């Protein structure tokens, strides 16, 4: 029975190490800046790996007072592009921790 106890302690240590690495990876994701663009670069949106919008850049030629809807669509498209890239980065980064674990979620 003693051997089983040692295995449990070893497994707990491994879990703690993995939790620490996951926390570090999450922190690193928050530091990452991901850029999404629309309109051939007329609108650029920058988000963090935590999917927080931190910058929006709009080139002057993208601003047409007679077509505000187009500008809104460009901002929306650039934001969604950046968020999609951030999601992919998150999945690639955090997926390494669950690879091969066969979890139900």
Digit-coded pLDDT (tens) for 51-94: 899 999 999 998 888 899 999 999 999 999 999 999 998 888 88
Asked whether residue 105 is domain-assigned, the answer is no
- pLDDT score recorded for residue 28: 87
CATH number of 58's domain: 3.30.1310.10
- Using only C-alpha atoms, the chain has a radius of gyration, in whole angstroms, of 21
Residue 29 clears pLDDT 50, i.e. is over it: yes
- Using an 8 Å Cβ cutoff, are 97 and 18 in contact? yes
**How wide is the angle at C-alpha 15 spanned by C-alphas 13 and 20, nearest 5°?**
95
At 97, is the pLDDT very low, low, confident or very high (cuts 50, 70, 90)?
A: confident
**The model's pTM:** 0.70
Cβ–Cβ under 8 Å, residues 34 and 52: no
Determine, yes or no, domain membership for 63.
Answer: yes
Q: Tokens 């030629």 label which residue?
A: 61
Range of the domain at 87: 2-98
Residue 90 placed within a domain: yes
Please tell me the total count of domains within the chain. Answer: 1
pLDDT above 70 as % of the chain:
89
Residue 104 is assigned to a structural domain of this protein: no
């Amino acid at each position: 029975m003693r051997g089983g106890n040692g295995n449990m302690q070893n497994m707990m240590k491994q879990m703690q190490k993995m939790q620490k690495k996951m926390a570090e990876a999450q922190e690193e994701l928050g530091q990452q800046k991901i850029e999404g663009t629309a309109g051939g670069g007329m609108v650029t949106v920058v988000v963090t790996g935590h999917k927080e919008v931190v910058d929006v850049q709009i080139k002057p030629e993208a601003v047409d007072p007679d077509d505000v809807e187009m500008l809104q669509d460009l901002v929306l498209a650039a934001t969604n592009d950046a968020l999609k890239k951030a999601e992919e980065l998150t999945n690639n980064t955090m997926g390494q921790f669950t690879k091969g674990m066969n979890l139900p979620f």
